[in-house]
Structure 1
C-alpha cells in the first residue's frame, strides 16, 4: 500500500550536493535506502512538511518552486511544484541518489498519442551529486489515486454503475498499454493508478513497466506489492497475463471495499503471510456475493497464467457475457512418500497427518514420546524437504503429557493444515472454542495452560472467519499479546491490596476470566464487576480497590476489573457476619437494665418536650399556667408510657448496640412533640399508682417549672447514658463459610413477601395519620388493608425478584423496600386493574387490620415495622448460612 510521506524508520535523502539522513544523522554520512522498505509514490496525498523531511534539490529551484511533498516511494520523492516559467503546477519526481531512471522508457512514453492512459511528461533529466547521478522527471499533476476513490466511494455508498465504470476504464488502460504503448505495466496496484479530473485513469508509476522482449519478460527482480502480484512472480515470467491478475485483485476491492489480504483496520498482512496463503490456501471469495463478479474475479485470479482472462474475456463480461473459466486447478505439491501413524494409517500428505494428530491428541502424544515415532517424523520431513515449514526443535524437549508437546502438535497443524479449526489437547482453541471451553468443569484450569503457554500465538497461525483477518487470526494474536500483560497487572493490583497471595483456584479463575475479558469483554465485565453490597463490605484491604469503577476500554481498567472480580469471592467469605452466641445471664441482665433505663429516659424527655411545647403557657400564664403545662406533660407522659416500654424493648433487642439509645431519645422527642395529634393507645394503660405518683410530681413542680425541666432533662439524659453503657458499640461478627443454596429461595421469598406487605401497610397508615384531620374516627388500618389486598400481586412480584437475585439479595430487598414506600405514598384503588386484585384475601387482611382498631398508627410503629426488621434479619441469615 502507499502512504504519504516517509516512514520514521526510513532515512530520507536530500536530493542535491549534501544528502542528509533522519533528524539525528550526521552530515556527511551516506544513508542507505533499502528498496521495498517504504511504500510507492502516491501523488494524490496532501502536501506535508515535517521535521526530517527531504529537501528539494537546489539544482532545480531555478525551474520549479516546491509547494510540498506529495509522497515518497522506493524510487524517490514526489513534490508538488509550480513551474517558474509557465506558472502551472506539476508533479516533480526526484529519484534517490544512485537510483537510475529509465530515460529510454520515458522517451517512449513521451508521446501525445499515449495521453489517454499515460500522464503527460514535461521534462526528464539528471544532474550529478557527490553521491552519484540524481534523476528527475516533471509530469502532469494528477488528482487522486484509485485507492483513495475506493475508500471515499464505500464511505458514501458503493454503486454498481461506478464499480463497473472503473473496471472498464482499468481494463481499457491495460489493453491500451499492452497493444498501443507496447509495454507491460507490472506494478499497477491502486496506489499507482491516478485519476484525472474527468475520471480517466493513468498508470503513474513506471518503475514496474517492462517491454515485451524476451530479455525483459524473464528474470530480474520486480519491486511490486506482493498483495497484487500473481503466482508467476516466483519464476519471474512477466508476460501479458501478469497485470490481469492485478486487475482481479482490484476487482475484488471494487466489490468489497478492501483487498484480499487487508485487515479490517486497513493494515496489510506481511509478505510472508500473503505468500503462505497464496501457495497453500484455496481462493476464498465468500465476501463476493454477486455471481457475476465472482465469475470475473475467478477468471482473472487463475493460478496458471495460460488460463487467465485477458482483454477479450473482460470485454465480453462487461457486455453481459459469461466467458468460460478454464482453470486447471491450483498447482499441488508432488506426492510424498508414505508415513505410518501410530494407529496404522498411512499418509502421503502432511496436511492429512496434521489433521490426524489434531483429532487424536493422545495418539499423537503416544507416537511422539514412545518408540521411534518422533525420529520417523523428523526423518520424513527432512527427506521430503518439509522441514523448512516446521521446526522439529519444538519437539526436542517435549515429554509425555507436557504442554510443550501438544503446543508442537498445534504448530504442526498451523504449518500444514491452517484451514482447519485449531485444537489443543483435542479442544478447539479458536476464539469461539476458547469461550465455550471456559464453561466446562476444568475450563479455568485449561485456560491457565493456554494463557501461560504459547497456545494463543500458535493458534493465531490458523485461518479464521473474522472480518478483516487473513492468513492469521488477529483476535488470537491480540489476545496473545495482551493476556500476559493483563494477568501480570492484575496480580500486581492484588498484591498492592495486602490481602495475601492468590490461591491456586483464584489463579486459575484469573486466567480464565482474563481470557474471557480479552475475547468477550461485554460478557466478562458483568461477571467481574462487584455488586454494590460487595463494594461496601467492611473489609479494610478491600475498600481502596472497591472505590474504583474501571472501564474495559483501557489496559489498566481491565486489570483493575479483573482484580476486583477475583477478590470479590474472598470478600464475600471475609465480610463481617453476626455470631450466634450462647445464652448469657449477665448479658440478659444488661439488656433488661438498658430497656428500663431507656424507658425512664424516654418518658422523662417526653415530659420535657410537652412542657417546652407549651412554653407560652408555662412561662407566661402565672402559677396556673405552670400547673397546667406540668399536667399536660404528665398526661402525655402517661399516655406514651406503654408505647415507650414496647419501643425501648424493640430497639434494644433489635438494634443491640448503643445506637438503640440514640434512636429511643429521638423517638421520644418526635412522639412527645406530636402527642396531641396521635391516636390514643387503649390496649394497655398505666396503673393507678403510677398515674397518682406522676400527677403528684407534676403538682410539686407546678410553681417551679424550671426546676422540674432541669431535673427531668438531666435525669432523662443520665438514664440514657446509663442505658447506653450497658450496650456494646458494635456487634461481634464471624466469618461465613458457604453461600446460600437454591433451596433457600422459598424461605427468602416468604420472608420478603411478609416484610414488603408489612412495610406497605405501615407506610399507608402513617400517610393517613399525617394527612387525616380526625384520626380518631378514620379507619386508617382498614383502608390500608383494603389497598394492601389490591397491590399484593405487585408485592409478590417484587418478593420473587428478591428471592432470585442471588448474591445481591439484601441489596435487591433494600431497593424493593424503597419502591414499596414510594408505592404506598401514592397508592389508590385503580378500578381498571381490579382483575389483578385478590378479593378472597381482602376479608382476612381487613380482619387482621381490625385487631388494632383506632390504634393502627401504634400497630404500624410498634408491630409491623419491627416485624419487617426481623424478616430482613431472617433473610440475611438464610443468605449467609
Structure 2
C-alpha cells in the first residue's frame, strides 16, 4: 500500500503518547493482519507476519539512550510503543520503534517532524537504529478522550464539547492543509495534555496518507476503525471528509457518553448501517451539538460539513445540513421485523446489505442444516407487496454460496450485484478473472460458480447505489464468455509445437476453473489489462527463449492461449536448459577423458567379449529350457525336435559372432549401453513401463506365457529360428548406434570450445 506518489505506507500502532484503554475499539488495517497483544485484532498487510528474530526490546542504540518505564502496547506486528525516560535529562517521552525495514509515509514524517501546529502531537526526533525506524514524541499525561467518554456516561457538557471541537477542528484543518488525511481519528487517539485548562492533541498518524488538496485517493483496502470510518471508505475513497466524519462520531459518543453500535458484534453490519441510514442523533439534548453531529455525519461526503462549516458553527452560525433520503419506503418495509444475528430488520435493502457484508455468517445461518432461519426469511418476504421480480430457485445440489445468492436476490432483486464479497460488474470482472487464472482462492471457485450456475443472469438486474455498481453490461459479458471459450479451444488446436498443443488442450480440459477464468479475462479485459498482459508475456518470452512461444505472443489474438501455456513453457525452458547444461558437462567430460577413453576402449576388449558371451549364454539357457520342455512333453515329432536344435545352434553361432564383433569394436563402451544384456534390459524396462502405464501389463504377460507354451509344445522350431533371424538386425542396429555416438563425440572434440549449439529448438 502506497501514497499517491508511491511512498510506502506504514501500518497502524494502537496508541501514541498515552496508553489506550483496553475497551477502545481497534483500528483495522488491510485484510489478513495478525492481532496485537491485547484487545481485538489489528490487521496487517496481506502476507505480512512478524519478522523472525524481532523482539519487543529496544535496539542497542536506543537502549543506551532511553530507559523503558512501560511497554504501552506490548509487542505489535508493525511497531512497539514505550513510555521511556531519556537518560541524558530524565525527560519522559513516548518512543515508537517500527519493525525492520518498515517506515511511515515520508510526507507525514516530514510534517510531524517540523514545527507542528497546535493540537497535533508531532515528532521530537526520528531516525533508524538497526534498520528499525523510530519516533520520539512528547508524553501527554492527561489520558485520552476515550477516558473522558467513559467518565461521563450521561454525556460531556456542551461547553466542554464545544472547546473540544474548537481544538480538534483547528488541528484537523492544519493537517488537511498539509495534504494529509489522518484516517484514524477516534477517542483513543485524541490525547489530553492538561485537564485545566483543557488541551488536546491529535496523535497516531500511523495509517495517515498524503493526499494533496483537490485530489481523491482511492484505496481498495478498508482502513481505520469502524464506526469512525465513513460510508465512502467501503469504496476506498480517501479525502479530508474522511476525518470530519470521524470527528462527528467522536462528538456523538462524547455527547451521549456511549460507544456507538456497542451492541453490534459484527463490524460488517455496522458498515452497512452507516451506508444505509443516517446516524440517529436525536438522543443529543443540546440542539447546537445535535446540528453539528448531523452536519459532520452526512452520508454524502460532498455535502458533509468540513472546516468551513465547523468554523462557522463555532462562531455561532447555523450552516445547512443535507437530509439524504433513505431507502425506507412502504414498498421495502413491513410491519414485522426479521431477526438476523440478533438484529431486527424492517426493510429489505438493509438486510440484503448485511447478508452480503457478513457472507460467512449468512452462510452458516441461512444455508446450514437448520432450515428454520431460511423458512422464517421466506415467510417474512411474503409479507411484502409483489414487486413482479421472479428469482428462480437454485439447483438442488447447488453450492451453499449459490443458494445464499438466490436468497439475497430474493430479499432485494434491485440490490447491486454482489457475490462472495465481489461486486460483480464488467469493470471488476477482469481482476476477478485474472486472480482466477492465477489459481487464487476463492476467485477460481467464484468464476466456476458464475459459469456453472449461470449467475450473470441473476446478477444482471442489480442496480447501482452507494453499496456498489450496477449489473449493467453483465448480459453482454454472459454472451461473450462462451465465444471466448470456443476461441481458446480453436487457438489450442492451432498451436504449432506438438508438445505445447497437447499441453494447451490438457489445460482447457483438466484445469477447468483456470480455463474458465482465462476465457472470462479474454471477454472482459480492457486496453490497460491487455497492455499489462502483453508486457508480462514479453518478459516471459525473453526468459523462456522458445520459438513457438515467441510466435504466439507476436499475434495479439493468440495472447490468451499463450497465457494458458506459460506453465508448460516455463517447464519446457527449464528442461531445455537442463539438457543444455548436461550436454555441456558431457562435452567437457569428453574433452577431459579423450585419451583415457581410447585407452579404456582398447584395454577392456576382453571384458567386453566376456559380456558378449554372457549375453549369448543367457539366450542359450532360455532356448535349451524351451526345447528341453518340448522334448519332455513329447508332443512334437522327432524331426521337429531335431530342427529345433539346429535352430538353437544357428541362433547361438550367429549371436556369438555378431556380439563379439560389436564388443571388439566398441571395447570398454560395449556394456551396458550396447551389449545384449544391457540394451535388452533397457528395452524390456521401457516395454514394461509402457504396458503398466496403459494398465495392460497383466493381460500381456499372460498372453506371452501362453504363446511360449503353445510354441514350445506344438512348434518348438519357431522360437530358435525367430531368435536367429532377429539377433542379426538388432546387433546391426546397436552397432550403428555405437558408430553414430562415436562420430558425434569426435565431431564435438573437433569443434572449438565456444562453438556450442543453442538449446532453443
**TM-score, normalised with respect to structure 2:** 0.38
Which structure carries more relative contact order (alpha carbon 8 Å, separation 6+)? 2
**TM-score, normalised with respect to structure 1:** 0.33
